[in-house]
A and B are shown apart, each in its own frame.
Chain A
Amino acid sequence: MSKLITENHFSDADAFYAALTDAHRELSTVDSERLNARLILLLANHIGDKQVLLEALDIAAQLEQ
């Protein structure tokens, strides 16, 4: 059974999206990659649950979708 939440779960979706793109705005591609890596690691630890993480990875890897 799926555990990953794929319905809207944000308290403020627009604010998050703006903060995410703002954080990257001034960065080179290399630094953006670094920021993304840090963000993924921090969020992954916060989620913790292996099944949720693997489901998210699985969807993320479906690049053609």
Chain B
Amino acid sequence: MQKTYSNPIYPYRKSADQEAQRPVHHPVIIIGAGPCGMAAALDLAKQGQASVILDDNNTVSVGSRAICFSKRTLEIMDRYGCAQPMVEKGVTWQKGKVFFKQEQVYEFDLLPESGHKLPAFINLQQYYFEEYMVNQIAKEPLIDLRWMHKLVELDSSAEGNQLKVETEDGVYALSCDYLLVADGANSKIRTELGLESKGQVFQDRFLIADVVMKADFPTERWFWFDPEFHPNQSVLLHKQADDVWRIDFQLGWDADPEEEKQEAKIRPRIEAMLGKDVEFELEWASVYTFQCRKMDDFIHNRVIFMGDAAHQVSPFGARGANGGVQSVENLAWKLARVLKGQAPATLIDSYNEERQHGAAENILNSTRATDFITPKNDISRAFRDETLRLAKHYPFARSLVNSGRLSMPCDYQHSSLITKSSALNTGFDAGIAPGFVCLDAPIGINGEDGWLLEQLGNRFVLLYNGEGIDNDELKTLSSISDDLVLLDSRELEDKEGMLAERYCMSGGQGYLIRPDQYVAAKFEQLSREQINSALQRALGYQSAQENP
């Protein structure tokens, strides 16, 4: 069916490891070259850590699957060096319409805030997203990506992992300190280790139809509740690259997935929706059910689960791939520092702590959207329908309409790695609070235009306002750690005043920013002792202590 995209074929290559007399050891092996597995390898490479990715296939995603990528995900991709082709190819959108039965209820404009390098959202087929990551990986000497190398046996213990890997040249053995598992929602490794992902299965089926049409629809997200062309169900229309439109039909639990996948069955549905005169070609179709679930612990011995294998959500709100990539970036900097001996092994546990919180937030949001879209009983349906009717005339009701709350990065303000401002008795409350992700700002540096986030990430950064700080003090601060870079905000040209507006630093104030661009602590008056203590806490050395 697919015409606008042909999947690249990445050939199997024999690795020197297959000739070795004894199993070759790697610090990190990653299972699965999807968005999360590849993100993990790219992030580790940015932190100077080599890894091997094993994938049992030879191409990127067949069919589109995830389509909506959020600003935070793009910021992470930008740190890896592959956001640019994604933004160029992707469709940037900000407007949407909501319909109930035959009427438009309201329209919205996300009105993106200015002063960010990357857009609020792009729509891009998952295969492009993955292809650009594969291209970036090819430029990274620290990443060894092995297509058609299939993990067939895993022996995991508290000390590490022994693997058997199958290829067309036979089976070979490997060992690793840490195994990162991103083998998808139905993770075989999770099952084989006897672990579970627990939660809610929704009794509903959805048809995804990606169609190519030249029709003159605007680049907007259109969502129908109970439309006349598809009664009692919901429908979503959203544009992707190459004039491919994603149409998502809710089918109900009784639908027969095999039958619904047939073009003869899909065509009349789309004609009823778009009108008989609209020309389209069916690009790809799939019928899916979904679950909102997660593992109780993402870490088992030295096996670490990521992406859908660790936590899975319904598609409403674009939280699957986005939440997955955000989990990966939380893990990578920690794992790299543990492997380099710069942090205790227990720092990895904070991946579970912080991302259980992120996963729970994503599951909560997508469950709420699902419950609004598919009311569970008659009275829920009455509330849903009346909310929609009121929304046409009364703005308040629009805040209740929920066809997916689009993915925003979660905060880690209650994490044991974060130094709360109350602990430092600081009155520096303006700007970004500890545990929140840094905001971008347009800046000039060394006479060139750039962005603040390009200066942050991959190592700890002390972003401070150096006014009134003498050279001796600076020397003391810069000797705190090799992993800490000092960045005086006065060296950055605040081109639109956004740096001052978003960070609010006066002389002597500063932020300690983690390698994942989250604020670890903020300081009213820079002091070596406070900065060092916050850094130690962020590295997991003090997590056992009380964090008031």
Which positions in A face B, CB cutoff 8 Å? 33-34, 37-38, 40-42, 45
Contact = CB atoms under 8 A, between A and B. Distances in A.
24 contacts: A33-B378, A33-B379, A33-B382, A34-B382, A34-B385, A34-B386, A37-B379, A37-B382, A37-B383, A37-B386, A38-B386, A38-B389, A38-B390, A40-B383, A41-B383, A41-B386, A41-B387, A41-B390, A41-B397, A41-B400, A42-B390, A42-B394, A45-B396, A45-B397
A50 to B, nearest CB: 13
Given A34-B382, A42-B390, A45-B396, 16 more contacts: A33-B378, A33-B379, A33-B382, A34-B386, A37-B383, A37-B386, A38-B389, A38-B390, A40-B383, A41-B383, A41-B386, A41-B390, A41-B397, A41-B400, A42-B394, A45-B397
Nearest to A40: B383
Contacts of A40: 383
Interface string B350-388: 000000000000000000000000000011001101110
Contacts of B389: 38
Contacts of A38: 386, 389-390
Contacts of B382: 33-34, 37
Give the 9 A-B residue pairs with the shortest CB-CB distance, closest first. A45-B396, A37-B386, A38-B386, A37-B382, A37-B383, A33-B382, A34-B382, A34-B386, A41-B390
Interface of B: 378-379, 382-383, 385-387, 389-390, 394, 396-397, 400
A37 B394 CA distance: 15
Nearest to B395: A45
A33 B382 CA distance: 7
B11 to A, nearest CB: 57
A42 B387 CA distance: 9
Contacts of A33: 378-379, 382
Contacts of A37: 379, 382-383, 386
Nearest to A45: B396
A40 B380 CA distance: 13
Contacts of B390: 38, 41-42
A40 to B, nearest CB: 8
Nearest to A33: B382
A62 B382 CA distance: 22
A16 B536 CA distance: 62
A42 B386 CA distance: 10
A38 B389 CA distance: 9
A4 B54 CA distance: 59
Most buried by B among A33, A34, A41: A41
Nearest to B396: A45
Contacts of A34: 382, 385-386
Contacts of A41: 383, 386-387, 390, 397, 400
A38 B385 CA distance: 9
B402 to A, nearest CB: 13
Nearest to B400: A41
A63 to B, nearest CB: 14
Contacts of B400: 41
Contacts of B396: 45
A59 B397 CA distance: 24
Nearest to A46: B396
Nearest to A38: B386
Contacts of B383: 37, 40-41
A43 to B, nearest CB: 11
Most buried by A among B378, B385, B386, B394: B386
Nearest to A37: B386
Contacts of A45: 396-397
Most buried by A among B382, B397, B400: B382
B379 to A, nearest CB: 7
Contacts of B378: 33
Nearest to A35: B386
A36 B301 CA distance: 54
Nearest to A48: B396
Contacts of B386: 34, 37-38, 41
A34 B400 CA distance: 16
A63 B18 CA distance: 70
B100 to A, nearest CB: 14
Nearest to B380: A37
A45 B387 CA distance: 11
Contacts of B379: 33, 37
A42 B393 CA distance: 12
B112 to A, nearest CB: 27
Nearest to B386: A37
